[in-house]
Each structure stands twice: as structure tokens, then as C-alpha cells.
């Protein structure tokens, strides 16, 4: 095949396309497009003939083929398939359709409420990075190197040596104390991460609110008063709070605190597993070693710290029995709120 014959065949293909598109029904346009422009169409076959032409003719032949292809494409782009008009019956006596309005996620609602209550008690809000160093997450909080919490089975360590995803918002305490002289009165809400096996009460990520108050003459009675006041504002005036001795590396003395179950009013039910109490979290007086790490003189100041899991409190507030529901984005669940 020479250039003249190649050009003539392109012209014949273009003429055939113009004729068939002009007389075609709208339903057959897709078939015609495949016939002329598809992978096995006429233009594809012509492009394969380029290799059989002499080397010096191929540039001109390729240019002619591309021009012809564009002309055929314009034939199809200029044809608009007729659309059937459809009319919806309208009854003006029917009530209008209410717009779908989203609601606040129960976890977000709980977090906002917790922050509002403590803000009303004079606490300011502080934040810190979710990617933390071992120093701020463990060392400065008086957590020894052989403590189980530092095991790889419990903590998400990063490839960069000495870095991890924070397991608590307590590192914010150290960062604030390093940058601010007492008195300090803050809460630190934020996301945390631990290698927990996922079940109805545990998840690998969770939200925590950490509280810290440092000043002169701060006592454990102050801590108990603040947590009791919070429980009454959040759950109700009839709620009871109990404190149990415990141990945490960063507080001394340390306590765990529970709220009476609002579902059964402390009588025992499935939510509280028959005990009448719901375990909330831990608290205590700040250990002197933590003050030293932050640059405070433990002989001059005292302070208390507390933490609470927002998911657990949300489950108590809304009667949710599986923490996974808070993260699965199930509309059937979320539309209840």
C-alpha cells in the first residue's frame, strides 16, 4: 500500500461514517462509534497499515490518519440523543418534605459536655501531639523502663527510634508545666492509642480527657470534690462517687474512681454487671518525681491529676453496650441520636 491508496481509504471511511451517522437512530450510535473508533474498528485497522508504508511516508500518513479520526469523533460529539421528558405529578395539598438534618455523634457530644463542665470549673483546655517521644509518654511520668505499659504488646512504637503513638494524654501535663509556672489548671482532651484486643469494651484507639491542677496547698480532698461535682453535673444529682486505692507511677497516692450506675440506680444490672458501680478511670496526687521532671519544686507545690475515658462515659450516658458501635459509622445506630 502506498500513500495515495492509504489516503483514499481514509477518505472512504470518513464518507461512510458521515453517511451512517446522519441516518442512524440514537439507539445505534454506540454501535457505530465502536465500528469506526473502537479497538477493532476501521480507524484502528488503518493505523496498523502505517507500518507497511515506506519510512519517509509514515509521518504524512500518520498526520492524515489523526485528522480523519478527529473528524469522525466530531461527528459523534455533535449528535445529541433525544431525551424523553418525564413529569412528576405534584399534589399541592401534601405537606412539604422535611430536610434531613444530621446530629452530633454521641462521642463528640460527650466530649463537648465534659469540656464544658470542667471549663465552668476554671480549667483551660490544652493539647499536644499524638506522635510522642518515650520521654514525655513514659520517662517524665515516672514510668520505669521495665513497666508493662512500655512493652511492644501494649504500645504502638514508630519506626523512628524513641517515638510512639501516645498511650494517654498525660504527656500534655509535662509539656504545659515545662512552659508555664504554677498555678496550672488544665484539661487535655485527645485521641490515644494502645494495642488492646478489640472487644465490646476495648478498642485500639480511644479518647481521653486528662486533668491537672497544680498550686500551693492542693489536697486529695480537692480532687474528690472536683470529680464528684463533675459526676453530678454530667449524670445527675443522685449519682454517687466512690474512690478505691490503686497504683499509678505518676501519682502518689493513687486512686480509681467509680460512678454509681445511672441505669439501675446502683441496684445492679447488665450494664454495671450486677455491681451497681461503673469504673471510670484513675486519679491521684502528682508524684514528686513528675514535678522534678517538669522543673517544679515538689516542696513548694502540690497537685492532682485525673483521667477519664470519653467512650466509657458515652456508653454510660447513652446505654451503649459495645464500644465498636462508636467507630463503625453504622447509620442505623447513629440515626438514634
Averages of pLDDT over runs of 10 residues in the chain (337 residues) are 81 86 75 83 83 82 86 75 56 83 90 96 95 94 87 89 94 95 95 90 91 95 95 89 93 92 77 82 94 94 94 86 89 88
Distance CA 145, CA 262 (A): 40
Which pTM does this prediction carry?
Answer: 0.67
Distance CA 42, CA 21 (A): 15
Q: Do the beta carbons of residue 145 and residue 241 sit within 8 Å?
A: no
Beta-sheet strands, E only, within the chain? 124-125, 131-133, 163-165, 184-193, 205-215, 241-248, 251-260, 277-286, 302-309
> Is-cis flag, bond preceding 255, omega within 30?
no
pLDDT digits (tens, 9 = 90+) for 249-269: 999 999 999 988 877 777 887
Q: What is the pLDDT of residue 13?
A: 86
Distance of CA 182 to the CA centre of its chain: 35
Domains of the chain with CATH codes = 3-77 (no CATH), 106-334 (3.30.930.10)
Q: Cα separations (Å) of 161 from 164, 191, 235, 270?
A: 9, 22, 43, 44
- Phi/psi region, residue 266 (left: phi>0; alpha: psi -120 to 50; beta: rest), is left
- Phi/psi region, residue 182 (left: phi>0; alpha: psi -120 to 50; beta: rest), is beta
Q: What is the pLDDT of residue 87?
A: 53
pLDDT digits (tens, 9 = 90+) for 177-212: 999 999 999 999 999 999 988 888 789 999 999 999
Q: What is the pLDDT of residue 18?
A: 84
Distance CA 18, CA 11 (A): 11
Distance of CA 225 to the CA centre of its chain: 34
Q: What is the pLDDT of residue 112?
A: 96
Amino acid at each position: 500500500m502506498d500513500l495515495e491508496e492509504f489516503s483514499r481509504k481514509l477518505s472512504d471511511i470518513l464518507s461512510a461514517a458521515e453517511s451512517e451517522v446522519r441516518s442512524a437512530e440514537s439507539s445505534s450510535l454506540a454501535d457505530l462509534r465502536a465500528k469506526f473508533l473502537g479497538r477493532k474498528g476501521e480507524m484502528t485497522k488503518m493505523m496498523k497499515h502505517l507500518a507497511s508504508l515506506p519510512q519517509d511516508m509514515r509521518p504524512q500518513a500518520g498526520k492524515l490518519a489523526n485528522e480523519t479520526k478527529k473528524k469522525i469523533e466530531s461527528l459523534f460529539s455533535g449528535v445529541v440523543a433525544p431525551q424523553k421528558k418525564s413529569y412528576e405529578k405534584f399534589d399541592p395539598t401534601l405537606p412539604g418534605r422535611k430536610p434531613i438534618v444530621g446530629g452530633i455523634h454521641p462521642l463528640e457530644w460527650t466530649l463537648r459536655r465534659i469540656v464544658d463542665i470542667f471549663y465552668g470549673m476554671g480549667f483551660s483546655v490544652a493539647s499536644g501531639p499524638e506522635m510522642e517521644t518515650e520521654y514525655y509518654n513514659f520517662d517524665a511520668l515516672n514510668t520505669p523502663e521495665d513497666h508493662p505499659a512500655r512493652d511492644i504488646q501494649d504500645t504502638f512504637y514508630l519506626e523512628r527510634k524513641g517515638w510512639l503513638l501516645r498511650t494517654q494524654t498525660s504527656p500534655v501535663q509535662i509539656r504545659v508545666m515545662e512552659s508555664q509556672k504554677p498555678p496550672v489548671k488544665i484539661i487535655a482532651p485527645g485521641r490515644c492509642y494502645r494495642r488492646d484486643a478489640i472487644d465490646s469494651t476495648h478498642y485500639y484507639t480511644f479518647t481521653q480527657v486528662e486533668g491537672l491542677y497544680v498550686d500551693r496547698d492542693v489536697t486529695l480532698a480537692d480532687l474528690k470534690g472536683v470529680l464528684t461535682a463533675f459526676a453530678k453535673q454530667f449524670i445527675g444529682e443522685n449519682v454517687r462517687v466512690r474512690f478505691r486505692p490503686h497504683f499509678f507511677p505518676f501519682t502518689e497516692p493513687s486512686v480509681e474512681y467509680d460512678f454509681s450506675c445511672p441505669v439501675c440506680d446502683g441496684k445492679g444490672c447488665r450494664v454495671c454487671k450486677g455491681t451497681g458501680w461503673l469504673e471510670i478511670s484513675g486519679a491521684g496526687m502528682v508524684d514528686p518525681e513528675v514535678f522534678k521532671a517538669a522543673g517544679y519544686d515538689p516542696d513548694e507545690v502540690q497537685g492532682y491529676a485525673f483521667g477519664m475515658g470519653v467512650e466509657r462515659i458515652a456508653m454510660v450516658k447513652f446505654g451503649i453496650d459495645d464500644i465498636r458501635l462508636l467507630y463503625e459509622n453504622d447509620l442505623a445506630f447513629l440515626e438514634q441520636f
